[in-house]
Amino acid sequence: MTKRTITMAQGVALYMGAVLGSGILILPGYTSDAAGPAAIISWLLLSLLSVPIAYTFARLALKYENYGGIATIVHQAFGKRSGAVVGWFFFAWVATGQAVVGLTGASYIVTVFGLAGEWLYGFAFLFLVVALAANLLGMRISGLVSLGLSGIVLVLLVLTIAFSLPAMEAVHFRPFAPHGLTGVGQACVLIFWAFFGWESITHLVPEFRNPQRDVMRCTWASVFIIGAVYTLLSAVTIGTHTYGDIGTEAPLAALMNRALGLNAGLATVVVACIVCLGTLNVYLASSSRLGYALAVEGKLPRWFAKTSNSGTPYRSVFFLFVTNTLTLAFSYAASFSVDRLILVPTTLGILVYIVASFACVKLLWSDKAGRLAALTSSALCLAIAPFSMQYLAVPAVVATSCLLYLRYRRKGSAVNSP
């Protein structure tokens, strides 16, 4: 199945598509509301804490080069059951979370053009369809799509930041921490949605042309670029006071309107579409490979292991498309708002990171730098988890379903054995 087509440039683009995702559309404004100018500290912490997370995931993905990614890493550390459970966590996370990404992009379109609420779900579904088509064309086309999308949004962001810097005023940084440490902590919780994505490359390592050379290089490049963009964007959002009544929900559009002279509505729609399509593209690509790997290892039904002539696990791709479509339908029928829906995949993602980080601690224990990085990642994830509250029931249900499936499969194997 393995077709090595991903270059270093495409790897960076895939990272950026996953990490520099839908959160960038709203988080600079929301975090500034929560913490005031001190939100910059939260973004700096995000950038610094991305280093141990990205490093440990990439390091172990190279060691256990496999489409299973994080699930394989956990399997190596704690055994098959734990690997299966975390694989199911990740698969369920993506099976619901991409609907949230689609709704985020669609909400910008609907708001800008003043469309009725039904259009929100129509555009969200269209986002899913485009990502489905890109992935079914194969990993080479998918990687090129991510490269193009990430390149465009990066240029827009850099230009916006560069032209906004002269407009910053010192008065907007006073008082620096109006809500104290509590505000900074609340901003960190919001930013955790932007944390997700560093694990995505673990599922794609087998498709790098030269993984031993390029995976760590694109990891470090991505950590630096993404950290700098996030922090600088937060700084200009605060320094120009582009939040609060001015633009909390779409600070990027307001910044572009000021800095580049673009129509605010057009800027909002263009950036929302590019960012959300990039995120959907990379997650559908990486997670469909995870579904294939889990099926081959007996952790999911063999049905998911079927691939096309180009090597694309198309059944996994279709499954994720269908589950996210059903998630959209549920959100619409039950009037389940995006701010509540987002907590379902976020909680699953936090649990994935907790288990994976502890697996990294065990597997990198003899490596001093790796051990320190993994311990830091574990502490961060454990500190965030309690804020999920009742949504912790979601991973509990997924874990139970996984263990019941493994038990059913083991009993079936015993019955069929001579």
229-233: long-range pairs with CB below 8 Å, 24+: 229/20, 229/154, 229/157, 229/158, 229/161, 230/20, 230/24, 230/43, 230/46, 230/47, 230/194, 231/40, 231/43, 231/44, 231/47, 232/161, 233/24, 233/28, 233/157, 233/160, 233/161
Closest-CA residue to 165 (of 297, 79, 258, 99): 258
Inside any domain, residue 73: yes
What is d(CA 407, CA 413) in angstroms, rounded to the nearest whole number? 10
Inside any domain, residue 416: no
Q: What tens digit of pLDDT does each residue of 8-40 get?
A: 777 777 777 667 766 777 677 777 877 888 888
Inside any domain, residue 415: no
Q: Which two tokens stand for residue 2?
A: 């393995």
How far is the CA of 317 from the CAs of 195, 283, 321, in angstroms? 24, 10, 6
Inside any domain, residue 3: no
Inside any domain, residue 213: yes
pLDDT at 146: 57
* 237-260 as b/e: b if 16+ CB within 10 A: bbbbbbbeeebbebbbbbbbbbbe
Low-confidence ranges of the chain (pLDDT < 50): 1, 248, 415, 417
pLDDT at 154: 74
Residue 127's CATH number: 1.20.1740.10
Burial class (CB in 10 A: 0-12, 13-18, 19+), 103: buried
What is d(CA 176, CA 197) in angstroms, rounded to the nearest whole number? 30
Helices (H), 114-170: 117-136, 139-164
Q: Which residue has the tokens 């039950």?
A: 334
pLDDT at 416: 52
Inside any domain, residue 85: yes
- Kindly report whether the peptide bond that precedes residue 395 is cis, defined as omega within 30 degrees of 0: no
pLDDT at 412: 62
Domain total in the chain: 1
At position 49, the amino acid (one-letter code) is L
Yes or no: say if 228 and 20 are a contact pair by the CB < 8 Å rule.
no
Burial class (CB in 10 A: 0-12, 13-18, 19+), 114: exposed
Yes or no: say if 249 and 39 are a contact pair by the CB < 8 Å rule.
no
Could you give the dihedral angle defined by the CA atoms of residues 345, 347, 353 and 354, in that order, rounded to the nearest 10 degrees? Answer: -160
Break the chain down into helix, strand, coil percent, rounded to 5. 80, 0, 20
Yes or no: say if 320 and 95 are a contact pair by the CB < 8 Å rule.
yes
CA triple 398-68-195, angle to 5 deg: 70
Predicted TM-score (pTM) of this structure: 0.75
H-helix or E-strand spanning residue 354: helix 343-363
pLDDT at 267: 67
Q: Partners of 13 in the beta sheet?
A: none
Inside any domain, residue 244: yes
Q: Which two tokens stand for residue 334?
A: 């039950």
- Residue 210 makes CB contacts below 8 A (sequence gap 6+) with none
223-227: long-range pairs with CB below 8 Å, 24+: 223/47, 223/50, 223/51, 223/54, 225/12, 225/16, 225/154, 226/15, 226/16, 226/19, 226/20, 226/47, 226/50, 227/46, 227/47, 227/48, 227/50
Q: What tens digit of pLDDT does each residue of 101-139 get?
A: 888 888 778 877 778 778 889 999 999 998 888 888 765
Inside any domain, residue 2: no
Query: 398 lies in which domain range?
Result: 8-410
